[in-house]
Structure 1
Amino acid sequence: MKKDLLLIFLFLSSTVFAADSYEQLEVGSDIYQRVIVLSSNASSLSIRHSGGIAQVPLSKLPPEIQLKYGYDAALAADRDAALAAQRQKQAQAQLDRIAKAKAAQAREARRLASARGASASGAFARFGTQPALQTEVDLRDRFRRHGIRIRSQSGPSCSVHAIIAALEYQFAEGHGRALNLSESYLINTTSRSLGRPDAVGFDSETGRRNGLDLGFALEHVFQAIRGHGLALERSREERQSDQPYSILDTVDFSPFVVPGSGSRQGIENIVHVLNGNMPVVVGVSWPAYSRIAHTSVLGKQPVAPNGGHAVTIIGYRCEDGNIENAKFIFRNSWGDDWGAGGYGFFTYEYLINNLNTCYVVELK
């Protein structure tokens, strides 16, 4: 029992020998100069010497020094065995965590596959695999055919615009008819759900109306949809007469995370989704407006401190089959006078460095 208590004491604590110093200390075949002992445990000394700091085993020290520091070969062996067991336990715990994460990812992939149609399930089932890169996937014509025009945001609403554009597209693709959802309703309900004012201010840098708050995270908007639903956009006459919004009676809304944001695999997963003719809503770090006011390509621009923006990726171009050379087409919410008729392009390099969140959204 005393031996066990001594082992625990030596294992959990160390003793400092501030006054112990040696002009020279032999440790097996090694020789340390100008040594100061910092601490001791059952099997080793921690020392400072002329070349730095080292930990030396008591088993290799001369017998008189072993005796001075109470070296006991049996206690040292017990301590080393306990440390080895602890390291093995930690390694096994890490392996268990990895296995659990992989199992959860597999379950999520199966859930996504069963929750979506054939094209969607095919895309989700291929997550984590290398995609078949096409020369071009471009959903802009489909957006135009459905009558989903480029809007110009006002207030902290880039996330709202990105999500609604994707929802309107997915609904139109699935039902063959357009659904004009109200961004203003969703902005207001998101503000209320976060306890923020609805007031809209003016951004002197961008020259656009902008909310007092810098914006909503995509997850904030998802929360508002779950809590308050969606509404149809009001006509000018309805707005002027302050008629209430037409709230959709039932909203079967589903956001799905595209895993791997900020990695090559994450961008490959985006390609899988785009190959299935589905848009992807993303949150990205964003440059200052002055750096992109006159270009539609985001490549090497440095991002602004705390700068973020949400857009909808709706395609890509890859002429040589190398994903590092691909450009990803995104739909912005700054009106059709920005970029290429309201659209822009991310280089692979920009996405790999600045992609933060990534979702597929669906409205049934």
Structure 2
Amino acid sequence: MNVQVSLERRQLWNRDFLLFWLGSMQSELATAVAGVAFSFLVLEKTGQVSSMGITLALSLIPSVFAPLMGAWIDRLPLKPPLVLGNVLRALLMAYVAYMAFTDQFSLYTVYAISLVNGLVDMFYTPASQSVFPTLVPASEITRATGFMGMASQGMALIGLVGGGFLVGLFGSGVAILWNSIALLLMGLLLLWVRMPARVPKATQGHILQDIREALQLVSRTPTLRFLMVLVFVAGGVFAPLELMVPKIMLEAGLGARGYGIFFGVLMGSMLLGSALVAAGILKQRPQVLMQVGLVLLSCGFGLLWFSGVLWVVYFAAVWMGLGVALASTAATVLEVEVIPEEFRGRVFSLYAALNALSMPMMLLLISSIIDHVPVQTLAVGCAFGMALLLVVQHRMLR
């Protein structure tokens, strides 16, 4: 294990946090546009919602092995892999755009690209989560989390709405090419971010020993145990949303534009929630923010019972967005409070592995029944899952 030598941060808006903040906006833009374009490219070419679900599942499966990568994250300098990860993902998206432009679509090639993209994310996501808390003073973590949420969610709002209209007006190729450019821009910004150096210890333990230490930390920390449950259940609950919304919008005759508007409303509400935290208007303890967020999420999914009424569907997106913003902000603050800096890569990788187990299993299950089961049934199941998390939080963190 390496010792991370932190850089002194005297103010929230230092150069490194600003660059990382801008880079995160680019990442959210890329993810949002890719989500719209990729989903509807597969749906248009195959005519099957199930193929879209398999594509999403393949991108998540590699994260099952994230704990092995997490041990390396806590040992290695993080800047080179973060930059190269963005470049590789940009090249993959550029090739998908090429297939769309030349009408040479291959479903199995898309499956392979989704799998490789998942392999890159296996390292990239926990590494990025490990870097963020080192870029600001400890006293500014809550506000910094709010500002990060505002930036990423604001750019995701632009990406989702813009991506939906791009797909509707110009096709998937243009939207995916935009995704590739955004990833390259993020890699460029990360080149100028100063990240804490890591000084090797005199003796290095075995990788499996490092993972065992992380598991022991989680087992003796009630907050981390709850967050593990949160990641697993929330991943399984949100997976169906990626398939439910396209089905709702196709039945309403709106297609990609309706998809973009729904997730645009959701991200706008997330942006509002993060802004309230960043401005210091919501100062409640993270446990309270978590409770409020879970209640809003449960109600939002419940409203999808009325999937035939579009204004109710969009109102559900408002509730979900606020719920996600409050719950994710609370989770980030709790993580920074209880996870020692030298354990962050491994613990975040455990989260990624749980999410990778939960979401693909649910996606594959839902993909097999989505064409035969009413959206209302799935919505009730998701609402119940969020309510269950509220009960678990009360029992584990009381």
TM-score higher than 0.5: no
TM-score between the two structures when normalised by the length of structure 1: 0.26
Structure showing greater relative contact order (alpha-carbon pairs closer than 8 Å, 6 or more residues apart): 2
TM-score between the two structures when normalised by the length of structure 2: 0.25
Higher share of residues assigned strand: 1
Higher share of residues assigned helix: 2
Larger radius of gyration: 1
